[in-house]
Structure formats: C-alpha cells, structure tokens
Structure 1
C-alpha cells in the first residue's frame, strides 16, 4: 500500500507527509495509526515490548 507523497521529497511534500502522520497519530484511532507502521515494527512502552500490527493495534486500543 502506497501513501503519497512518495520520495523524492521536496520541502513542501515533506511537510505534507509529516502533517499527515501527525493527523493520523492525533486522531487516536488505532485503525488509522497502525497502518502507518511496517508489519514488523517493534515498539517499547516501559516494560512492554510490542511487535507487528496486531500487537500495536491491541496496545493502542487499550490505551
């Protein structure tokens, strides 16, 4: 799944990409936030370690 804007970035498209990422995170919606990360993403939250979309989604849903 490709989400524009795609590299190579200009200053304007880089700003657009960052704002879209901020908007997704600020939505606090796990269904929107989770796909922004790769399938093999690894997160750490204090003593909790998460790997992959399923664990990240479950974590965000709990929070």
Structure 2
C-alpha cells in the first residue's frame, strides 16, 4: 500500500505547477507527518487544500491548509 497527497487550489482543481509531486509514503502516519512539516511551503505555492489517497482510494478529501 502506498499513500500520497493530491494538492488542490481554492476551486478544488489539482495544483501541479510550482510544487513537487507528493512522495509515495509507506503509511498514513508517514504521509501525515510529512504534511505537518511541509504544509506552509505548499500553501505558499498556491495549494489551498489536500486530499490523502491510498492506492487511488480517497482516505479524506479537501483538508484545508489555510491557517485560521
């Protein structure tokens, strides 16, 4: 099983320009840990939300990165 992030803009469209594609992570915990360290850089690059996928299956979607 592999986990990865899909980056999304404010309209829910996928962001691919200006960001490095998500690594494949061996576990959900590894993917979430990485996001905790990287979300600011993603947000600065125009990513408004992320979706976590496991082998193409959505674990959770549209998690916002914008600070409250």
Do both share a fold (TM > 0.5)? no
Q: Which has the higher helix share?
A: 1
Q: Which has the higher strand share?
A: 2
Q: Which has the higher contact order (CA 8 A, sep 6+)?
A: 2
TM-score for both structures, normalised by structure 2: 0.28
TM-score for both structures, normalised by structure 1: 0.29
